[in-house]
Amino acid sequence: MSRLNIKKLPRAKGRTLIIGDVHGCLEELETIVDAFSPESKDRLISVGDLINGGPDSPGVLKFARKHNIYTVLGNHEMRLLKAWFKEDPSLLRNKDKRTYRQLKKADWEWMASWPHVIRIPSTNTIIVHGGFHPFKPWRKQKPEEISTIQVIDSKGRPARRADAPKGKPWGKTWKGPEHIYYGHTPRPEPMIHPKSTGLDTGCVYGYLLTAISIPDEEFFQVKAQRAYADD
């Protein structure tokens, strides 16, 4: 069983901006970071899925490195990395292949260094891509599970919405004590619960790129230039 790679960050000297799923939408990422106007003491964190689907995955990775954006692995990065490690593009979906061809060795090596989870103990905050099973210790959950979970099905199992359309959103049941910021489940607006905040608002599908700054909990949103993929 693969283990979670967990990165712990110290207390920020300034604000922290947590950015929802970008999926290769470089212009929107540039706009939202510009709106935040980060100072040297501030920091940026991504909930994963920086790449794939939008027009410029290499440009997004270049921008993320330039601005020292911390990021967790999303299910898209994990899927492409699996094919890269095995040197087997046949493992990919058709919609992955353009991104796979575009990325350079430095991109792959950098993505391979990303954690599955980022912890900020000073604010009792966790950043993860998909989420956690609310009734299991989060440290014992599998990377594949926490990158894809969206709901809890009728049998109490983690599932995707497509597989369990009547399932309950995991974040609605999460009791903490940590507050979780996550992506992966696109909605028209952020999903806000007492101990979890979903930040995927479907930028790649033509909707919004959303971010939130902590500890002040100010939202930043940018309208997508257009729909780059079908939802």
Q: Which residue segment(s) compose the domain that 106 sits in?
A: 6-128+173-223
Q: Does residue 17 belong to any structural domain of this protein?
A: yes
Q: Does residue 164 belong to any structural domain of this protein?
A: no
- Say whether pLDDT at 3 is over 90: no
Rounded to whole angstroms, the Cα distance separating 16 from 18 reads 6
172-217: pLDDT as tens digits: 999 999 999 999 999 999 999 999 999 999 999 999 999 999 999 9
pLDDT at 2: 75
Of all residues in the chain, the percent with pLDDT exceeding 70 is: 99
CATH at residue 103 = 3.60.21.10
Q: Are 44 and 69 in contact (CB under 8 A)?
A: yes
Q: Does residue 150 belong to any structural domain of this protein?
A: no
Q: Does residue 108 belong to any structural domain of this protein?
A: yes
Q: What's the pTM value of the predicted model, to 2 decimals?
A: 0.96
Q: Does residue 161 belong to any structural domain of this protein?
A: no
Kindly give, in sequence order, each residue whose CB lies less than 8 Å from that of residue 27, ignoring residues fewer than 6 positions away.
225
Q: Does residue 230 belong to any structural domain of this protein?
A: no
- What 3-state DSSP class applies to 99? helix
**How high is the mean pLDDT of the chain?**
96
pLDDT at 186: 97
Give me the mean pLDDT over the 27-51 stretch.
98
Q: Does residue 163 belong to any structural domain of this protein?
A: no
Rounded to whole angstroms, the Cα distance separating 216 from 204 reads 27
Kindly give, in sequence order, each residue whose CB lies less than 8 Å from that of residue 112, ignoring residues fewer than 6 positions away.
81, 85
- Tell me which residue has tokens 């921008």: 63
Q: Are 118 and 127 in contact (CB under 8 A)?
A: yes
Q: Does residue 137 belong to any structural domain of this protein?
A: no
pLDDT at 230: 83
User: Residue 208 to residues 34, 38, 87, 199, 224: CA-CA distances in angstroms?
Assistant: 16, 20, 34, 10, 5
150-174: pLDDT as tens digits: 999 999 999 999 999 999 999 999 9
Total domain count for the chain?
1
- Say whether pLDDT at 1 is over 80: no
- Say whether pLDDT at 226 is over 50: yes
